[in-house]
Amino acid sequence: MAESFRYIENWRGIVGEDGLPNLLVIDVRPFQDYCKSHIVGAVNLCLPSTLLKRSTFTLDRCIATLTSEEKALFTKYLQRDMDNLPTLIFYDSCTESSDTASLSISNLSSKFVNTQTWKAPLYVMQGGFKEFELLHPAHVETGSHASMPKVMVAPCRETPSSDQPPKIQISSLTHFRLPDTSNTPFFKSRHHEELLTTRPDSTLHLNTSITTPDTNILPSWLFNVIGSDLGASVLSSKFNCLQVQERERLNQALTRHCQATPSPETPYFSAGVELGRKNRYKDIFPYEHSRVKIQKYDAEDNELDQEESYINASYLHYPGSENQYIATQGPLEETIGDFWKVAYDHKIPLILSLTAQRENEVEKCAPYWEPGTYSSNGVFINVEILEQVDNFKLTEESSCECCARWIRLKIGDRPTHDVLQIQILSWPDYGALISSKDLISLAFLKRHILEESGTCDVPTIVHCSAGCGRTGCFSAIDVVIDLMLSNVEQDDEKDLAYDVISEFRSQRVSMVQNLRQYILIYDTILMFRKSQASSEYNGNNNNWIEDKYDIFNHFIEEKKSENKGN
C-alpha cells in the first residue's frame, strides 16, 4: 500500500497538455460511501452490476449514463491520442488480491479492456479504500464534489518529466481480473444477468448492527445468516440458489406447450410473449397461471379475447399470510386505461408506486395519476385527484421523497371508487438506496390503512418500473413482517425471507432482482425484529402519521362510509 501511494503521488504530479493528470483514480463503491470519504480527487463510477454485466453495455454507454461533469471529463480524455490516455487505478472497499476483486471492479474494468477507444494500463489497489484510509488519512476527503480529478503533487519530491514515468515496482497494485462467466445462463434477461459468480462479493453484507443480546431475540433462520462476515457468504449463496431455480423455471416455461394446464408447477408464458407492445420491458412478462385479466364491462358482453384482457400484472400471495398483492409494471401511456380498469374492477383501496415517473431522463412509469379520461377496450375511466400531499415523510428523520394522492375513479353511471396512491420518488431502479426504517414504516402505514378502512381482504397494487425488483423487495418485507406479527406458529429453522421470495418468483418472474435488494430485505427484517423486541414497541410504527397528515384519515373515513352504504 505504501508503494501504491507513492505511485499515485508521483503520477498525479504529471499532467497532460489539457491540464488533466495522466493518472485517473476511480472509486467503484456506492455513491453514499464515496460521499462519506474517498481518495483526494478520485472519481466515483458506480453503475448497477446488471448493466455492467451486459456485453452490449459498452464503455461509451457507461460514459453516457454519467453526470454531466463526469461525462465531460471522459470526453476530454478521449480527445487525447491513444498513447496518451491516463493510467487507471480502481479501488473498492477492501480488495486484497486479483482472486478477490469485487464484481464492481471486474465488470467495470472489463469495459475499458474490451473497447478500441481506450488503451492504457489498468490496476486495482490492493487493500482497497479501508487500508488506504488507515495509512494515508491526510489524502482522504469527504463530499460529492470531487468529480474533476485534482493534481496531487508531493510537496518535497521532484516531479518526474512526462516523458519518463516513475519506474516504481507496484507490488501492492494488482491487475484486474475479468468476471467468472461459468454461470452464463441460457435464458438471457435483465434479471439473469445478476447471476453471481462462484466467489461472494465481500463488500455486500448486512448493515444492521447486531449485538450479542440482540441474537437472543432472533429466530434461528435469521441468526444463521449473519455468520462472521455479516451475511456476505450465506446471503450470496442463498441468492445464487434462487437465481439457479429461476433460470430452470424460466427455461421450462419457455419450452412448455401452452396447452398444458398452467400452475406454479407447470408455468408457461402465453399472452405476455405475444403482446410485447403492452410490456414495458421485452423480457418481463407474467406467467399464465397467475396473470391478472381485465374483466368485461357488462355480464352480457362477449368474453374479452387474449389481447383485450391482457395487462402485465400478476397476483401474489404467500400461504399463511392474509396479504394479497397485484404486482404490475409501471403503466405505459397506452395502458393507463387498462391499469385503472383493473383497479376499479378489483375495488383496489391502495396503490404503492415505488418509482418516480422518470429516472436519468428515462421514463419508468407513465403519469397515470394525472386527472383525465382514459380508455380500456372502449370503456372510459375518469380520473380525479381529490387531495394530494407532495412532501410527506415516512419517518420523522426520513430523507425519502414521497407523495400521497387520494384519487376518485368514475366509469359511466356506475358508483365512483376511491383509491389512495402512495408514491416513493427516490428509490432508484435496481437499487437498495432506501432506509430499512422507511420500508418498515411503509409496511405499517399500508397495514393501518387497510385495517382501518376494512379492506384487508382486497389486494394492494404494488408496482415499480418492471414490477419485479423493488416490488418484490417491499412485498417480501411486508409478508415477513405480517407473519412475525401473526399468532401463527412458524418453523424456527425455515428461512422465511428466502421461502417468501421463492414463492413469489413462482408467481411472477424476477421478484427481487439483485443481491443488494436481497440483502436489504434481511437488513429490514433484522431492524424490525430488534424494534419489536424493544421496550418502546407498541405494535404500531406509524401512530404519528395519523396526526400529521389528514389525507389518510380523510380517505379512511370515506371508505368507512362507503362500506356502511354497502
Please check whether residues 150 and 218 belong to one and the same domain: no
Q: Residue 395 falls within a domain, yes or no?
A: yes
Number of domains in the chain: 2
pLDDT (average), residues 20-31: 86
Q: Read off the DSSP letter of residue 177.
A: -
Question: What pLDDT, on the 0 to 100 scale, is given for residue 299?
Answer: 83
Question: What pLDDT, on the 0 to 100 scale, is given for residue 23?
Answer: 87
The x, y and z cell numbers of residue 471, run together, are 416490488
The x, y and z cell numbers of residue 451, run together, are 385495517
Dump strand ranges (E) for 53-139.
Answer: 87-91, 122-125
- pLDDT band at residue 479 using 50, 70 and 90 as cut-offs: very high
Please check whether residues 27 and 126 belong to one and the same domain: yes
Q: Residue 556 falls within a domain, yes or no?
A: no
Q: Residue 557 falls within a domain, yes or no?
A: no
Question: What pLDDT, on the 0 to 100 scale, is given for residue 106?
Answer: 84
Question: What pLDDT, on the 0 to 100 scale, is given for residue 539?
Answer: 63
Q: Decide if pLDDT at 378 tops 50.
A: yes
Please check whether residues 392 and 354 belong to one and the same domain: yes
pLDDT (average), residues 182-192: 43
Q: How many residues does the chain have?
A: 566
Please check whether residues 74 and 215 belong to one and the same domain: no
- pLDDT band at residue 435 using 50, 70 and 90 as cut-offs: very high
Residue with cell 356502511: 564
Mean pLDDT lowest among 130-144, 149-163, 405-419? 149-163
Mean pLDDT lowest among 92-96, 383-387, 504-508, 525-529? 92-96
Q: Are 510 and 286 in contact (CB under 8 A)?
A: no
The x, y and z cell numbers of residue 331, run together, are 403503466
Positive or negative, the CA dihedral 18, 24, 30, 35 is negative
Q: Decide if pLDDT at 330 tops 90.
A: yes
DSSP three-state, residue 351: strand
Q: Are 264 and 291 in contact (CB under 8 A)?
A: no
Mean pLDDT lowest among 87-96, 331-340, 528-537? 528-537
Q: Report CA dihedral (526, 528, 532, 536) to the nearest 10 degrees.
A: 120
Q: Residue 561 falls within a domain, yes or no?
A: no
* Strand arrangement of the beta sheet that strand 43-44 belongs to: 43-44, 23-27, 87-91, 122-125, 173-174
Bridge partners, 231 (sequence order):
none
CATH number of the domain within which 116 lies: 3.40.250.10
How far apart (Å, rounded) are the C-alpha atoms in residues 233 and 169?
A: 34
For a pLDDT cut of 90, what percent of the chain falls above it? 45
Calculate the average pLDDT of the chain: 83
Residue with cell 436489504: 520
Question: Would you call 462 exposed, middle or buried from its count of C-beta atoms within 10 A (0-12, 13-18, 19+)?
Answer: buried
Give 532 or 169, the one with higher predicted confidence.
532
How far apart (Å, rounded) are the C-alpha atoms in residues 132 and 70?
A: 24
- pLDDT band at residue 183 using 50, 70 and 90 as cut-offs: very low
**How do strand 140-141 and strand 122-125 relate by DSSP bridges?**
unpaired
Question: What pLDDT, on the 0 to 100 scale, is given for residue 348?
Answer: 98
Please check whether residues 38 and 76 belong to one and the same domain: yes
Give 561 or 48, the one with higher predicted confidence.
561
The Cα-based distances of 17 to 54, 149, 162 in angstroms read 35, 15, 10
Question: Would you call 277 exposed, middle or buried from its count of C-beta atoms within 10 A (0-12, 13-18, 19+)?
Answer: exposed
Please check whether residues 170 and 196 belong to one and the same domain: no
What is the per-residue pLDDT across 92-150, written as a single tens digit (0 to 9) for each?
Answer: 888 776 666 777 888 888 889 888 888 888 888 888 888 888 888 888 887 755 444 44
485: closest CA among 516, 520, 440? 440
Q: Residue 32 falls within a domain, yes or no?
A: yes
The x, y and z cell numbers of residue 281, run together, are 420491458
Question: Would you call 403 exposed, middle or buried from its count of C-beta atoms within 10 A (0-12, 13-18, 19+)?
Answer: middle
DSSP secondary structure of 414-478: SPPEEEEEEEE-S--TT---S-HHHHHHHHHHHHHHHHHHT-TTSPEEEE-SSSSHHHHHHHHHH
CATH number of the domain within which 330 lies: 3.90.190.10
Q: Residue 560 falls within a domain, yes or no?
A: no
Please check whether residues 152 and 247 belong to one and the same domain: no
Please check whether residues 380 and 494 belong to one and the same domain: yes
511: closest CA among 486, 477, 539, 542? 477
Structural domain that includes position 94: 2-174
Please check whether residues 245 and 308 belong to one and the same domain: yes
Q: Decide if pLDDT at 74 tops 50.
A: yes
85: closest CA among 56, 57, 59, 55? 59
- pLDDT band at residue 253 using 50, 70 and 90 as cut-offs: confident
- pLDDT band at residue 375 using 50, 70 and 90 as cut-offs: very high
Residue with cell 371508487: 417
Whole-model pTM over 0.85: no
Indicate the helix (H) or strand (E) that contains 350: strand 350-353
Q: Are 15 and 41 in contact (CB under 8 A)?
A: no
Read off φ and ψ for residue 74, nearest 5 degrees. Answer: -70, -35
Read off φ and ψ for residue 241, nearest 5 degrees. Answer: -60, -40
Q: Residue 380 falls within a domain, yes or no?
A: yes
Tally: H helices and E strands in the chain: 18, 18
What residues contact 461, with CB distance under 8 A and at least 6 apart?
325, 326, 328, 342, 343, 348, 350, 351, 352
Please check whether residues 527 and 380 belong to one and the same domain: yes
Please check whether residues 409 and 522 belong to one and the same domain: yes
Q: Residue 251 falls within a domain, yes or no?
A: yes
Positive or negative, the CA dihedral 89, 92, 97, 98 is negative
Please check whether residues 538 and 403 belong to one and the same domain: yes
